[in-house]
Structure 1
């Protein structure tokens, strides 16, 4: 597992989402180190320099939580605060749920904890949003990877812009015969928080590993639902913080009710922080505000 790390002190794991890598935490790595913490941002299973197995069933939530716990062990620690953004958030929430004795605190960015539903999630999303919804589209073998492989820079540019507070905040629907990148418009110019150098950095980090591993996370959503039956409606007990953008399409289209009811299933929720005008890429769009909220929470533990 490839990690980027900075500083020394209490351990803080920073888990990225899709389609990102350790680089999405570039601002927090420095700031947390300066505040007296050991900040560690891995490339998670299947991503960038870590890479991963070819088999789809090797990307379940149990594998991903196991990776997080294994990383805590490899770093010589008994516990960590785990922060997760986008897909990293469910890994963080589930690590706190499955192994609370290893988690001093949990921070979810963009994606709140959602209690296990009464039926498989892909079926529900297919009925609600249709075949073009990107999570449903990602269930196909091989096809979803093609639009990323064809033009990685364009895919990153479109995706990072479209879901940001500067973008259109659209529900990502893949047009028939198109690819994931086609669900997002090409920006006339990049927002102020994103540069062409940032896009080039993402492209370089993915070179050689491709996108099958990351998309395999989505291909396990129904399998995860089956595997987590024993934790149906189980609470998450460690201290918790949620940070979200009020222009995040994930919140607007899918998760606002889960945010509003978060304390029902996360009884030690310390705070919910809303970032005005911020979209999906919280720690990149608003690095100073996110870091301030994280350090305040860390200091309270």
Structure 2
């Protein structure tokens, strides 16, 4: 898969891991940092961090995750549970020859990173979640909880019916990525997560007619080309296992994250923009006792590692260095920035 100006420093290969094929992008040498993307993204979303972390002395690896890009895309919806996905991370660590690694995730990749730390802390030196904070397993299954809060047309409920969102998203691929990425960027109007009656998924996202300065037509072309080849079903299948994941994680109810951790998000991220920063910090410190930093970047939206590549790379490098040469679980002061 082509990369932009970083392409000369980033290499691509396919790894066999756990019996499946994963296309990975990587750069650098040193302690391993595994970068897990979200929806609807690819390893490409980490292009800035791959080169930045390599320059900082780390081996940065970003896979196309199960269902995406050049990696395997099982047909069975049930093959995308959190157990399968954490198993993929462990298999990738094995294939890369790493006993342990720093695991970093954004969006759905953040959920995967948190759960990898919960399920296999022996393989995780530290965990960094971008955009999605760690929340312990809820007492109510997720789909009924969404219906109670938003009615029947929340976008995650819209995702549940096979074929519907899959078809909406491929109709005009450049428009899909302009609206989904640009419409939840910093400075964009607030997003209503409810699909309007008689509308489709893209009606959620405002069409401003212009790309934010961090997103180029070349970037759009990379995403459109890959998703035009693969479709969106693999990524949507992660959402179609929300109930299964809730059932499978019953043994982890009220479990804290047991390894050193970092949380970083855009202050304008639709995931957290309605939250009080003090409450967000209190909940994170309750459930992530070895949290080293909570960083909110003013004016930044959901696509934090692409919107603010330098700030994110510097924060990740500092966190990774804090784990060298030992895995101290001592907490440090919070860096909390918000408007």
Report the TM-score range of the alignment, normalised by the length of the smaller protein: over 0.9
How far residue 223 of structure 1 moved from its aligned partner, in angstroms, is: 0.8
Highest CA radius of gyration, 1 or 2? 2
Cα offsets for 1:76-100 (capped at 9, x unmatched): 1100100000000010000000000
Query: Superposition pairs for residues 92-111 of structure 1, below 5 Å?
Result: 92-111=113-132
RMSD, matched Cα? 1.4
How far residue 207 of structure 1 moved from its aligned partner, in angstroms, is: 3.1
The answer for unaligned runs of 5 or more in structure 2 is 1-21, 324-339
Could you tell me which of 291, 309, 312 is aligned with 1:269?
291
How far residue 158 of structure 1 moved from its aligned partner, in angstroms, is: 0.1
Query: Superposition pairs for residues 197-236 of structure 1, below 5 Å?
Result: 197-236=218-257
User: Which residue of structure 2 aligns with residue 125 of structure 1?
Assistant: 146
Query: Superposition pairs for residues 134-145 of structure 1, below 5 Å?
Result: 134-145=155-166
Cα pair distance change 1:67/1:253, threshold 3 Å: farther
Cα offsets for 1:112-142 (capped at 9, x unmatched): 1110000101110111012221111111121
User: What is the number of residues matched between the two proteins?
Assistant: 301
Cα pair distance change 1:16/1:146, threshold 3 Å: same
Q: Does 2:215 align with 1:194?
A: yes
Cα offsets for 1:31-67 (capped at 9, x unmatched): 0011110000001010111141111110000111100
**What's the TM-score once normalised by structure 1's chain length?**
0.97
Question: Separation in 2 of the partners of 1:12 and 1:263?
Answer: 23
Question: Separation in 2 of the partners of 1:173 and 1:26?
Answer: 31
Could you tell me which of 267, 291, 314 is aligned with 1:292?
314
How far residue 253 of structure 1 moved from its aligned partner, in angstroms, is: 4.8
The answer for unaligned runs of 5 or more in structure 1 is none
Check the 8 A contact 2:136/2:287 in 1, yes or no.
yes
Higher relative contact order (CA 8 A, sep 6+): 1
Could you tell me which of 245, 252, 257 is aligned with 2:273?
252
The runs of 4+ residues in structure 1 deviating greater than 3 Å are 253-260
Question: Separation in 2 of the partners of 1:155 and 1:118?
Answer: 34
Question: Separation in 1 of the partners of 2:200 and 2:158?
Answer: 9
Could you tell me which of 78, 94, 112 is aligned with 1:57?
78
Question: Separation in 1 of the partners of 2:72 and 2:229?
Answer: 9
Question: Separation in 2 of the partners of 1:54 and 1:105?
Answer: 32
Secondary structure in structure 2 of the residue aligned to 1:112: coil
Question: Separation in 2 of the partners of 1:194 and 1:59?
Answer: 29
Question: Separation in 2 of the partners of 1:158 and 1:141?
Answer: 22
**What's the TM-score once normalised by structure 2's chain length?**
0.86
Higher alpha-carbon deviation: 289-298 or 244-253: 244-253
Check the 8 A contact 1:245/1:282 in 2, yes or no.
yes
Q: Does 2:183 align with 1:159?
A: no
Higher alpha-carbon deviation: 129-138 or 1-10: 129-138
Query: Superposition pairs for residues 14-33 of structure 1, below 5 Å?
Result: 14-33=35-54
Q: Which has the higher helix share?
A: 1
Could you tell me which of 74, 90, 106 is aligned with 2:95?
74
